Amino acid sequence: MFFHTGELQYHSKPDAPDPVFAKKVQELIGGQFGEMSVAMQYLFQGWSTRGNEKYRDLLMDTGTQELGHIELLATMVARLLEGAPVYEQEKAASDPIVGAIMGGMNPQHAIVHGLGASPKDSNGVPWNAGYIVASGNLLADFRANVNAESQGRLQVARLYSMTDDRGVKDLFSFLLARDTMHQNQWLAAIKDLEAKEGPIVPSTVPPEWEATQFSHILYTNTETSTASQLPWVSQPAPDGHPITVEKPVTMSEKPVLKPGPKEAHDTLPMDKPE
């Protein structure tokens, strides 16, 4: 069960309207690595967690916080649009500055959403549930969570640099701090799980399933690539096995496919099959 209170988790009030920047903020709401993605990702991971109640609680707690972040950003978008002359078409036509502003904003903010935010990215692409990862394997999922928080924090930092509005920067400062915490918690959780299960996911694969002779080879052409000079290559892999460097070689023959049936209407082969 979720509860909503009227108060925001943090301040979300710009110093002045800015419909163009409101369009940019949409990326932090409905983009691939926006707050909608991490909220749904953590909640679905939590709902699927079995037998790890503490991590289930952590996922649910964090996902709920991210719902609050969506509200913060949606409020910011609404306030960036509030008071902007988005409906004053005659003024926009006569004033080149206002006209430029109107040309750079998201017209759906005025036409479709009534000066409010939408579940879309900065290009107006609707949020997609395919953005989220919820596999049922906590180690795999927590690694995806680090990536999501890293990309999200990167985007907030870039947007921070694109505005001089102190109110917007104040909210972004809070979001940067929360992304720092969330990266730290998932990294710590990964370290905890790796100590129990090892670094390779999934750890439950029987050894006989894997062609282990290929498990610790770095394939690289030392004549054209410097990848073999990376410092970790000369050290044991994270799972403890030594890494060897080999030039890529072919291990099978060239594939030859049989002609398709006539019902497939494929292109006729140039040479008749033997």
Local confidence band at 110 (pLDDT 50, 70, 90 cut-offs): confident
The predicted model scores a pTM of: 0.89
pLDDT value of residue 103: 66
Task: Mark whether 115 and 228 lie in a shared domain.
Answer: no
The answer on 228 and 106 residing in a single domain is no
**pLDDT, position 188:** 98
Q: Is the pLDDT of residue 130 over 80?
A: yes
Q: Is residue 174 part of a domain?
A: yes
143 within a domain of the structure (yes/no):
yes
Distances (CA, A) of 31 to 11, 130, 151: 22, 12, 11
Q: Tell which residue, 214, 240, 241, 218, has the closest CA to residue 229.
A: 218
Assess whether 193 and 215 both reside in one domain.
no
- Number of structural domains in the chain: 2
pLDDT at 95 over 70: no
Residue 237, domain extent: 207-246
